[in-house]
Amino acid sequence: MITLLVLLAFAGGWEAYARLGGVDSLILPAPSEIATALWDDRGLLWSNLLVTAQEVGLGILVALVVGALLAVALHFSGALRRG
């Protein structure tokens, strides 16, 4: 409960500062502006999310394969194991 109150206070302060503080919305947009942009551009975000998820998955797969190959090389090579 206290965590939620702290988060709401932070978001409220951020909103007030962005709206009343005279800060450029390009530098520090208000949380409401961010939420509106996320809702308005949800189709664009979804298509980019799919591409990013594929890239992350491929990166994890490559890391697993390279890590397994290095582990096998370390296991079977005495010189690498001593190093």
0.75 cut: is pTM over it? no
pLDDT tens digits, 12-49: 999 999 999 878 888 999 999 999 999 998 888 888 99
The structure tokens listed for 57 are: 């998955």
Residue 66 parent element (H or E): helix 42-76
Q: Tell me the average pLDDT of the chain.
A: 92
The arithmetic mean of pLDDT across residues 49-71, rounded, is 96
Kindly calculate the radius of gyration of the chain based on its CA atoms and give it in whole angstroms.
23
Query: What is the pLDDT at residue 47?
Result: 86
Secondary structure letter of residue 41 according to DSSP? T
Query: What is the pLDDT at residue 36?
Result: 95
* Residue 79 clears pLDDT 90, i.e. is over it: no
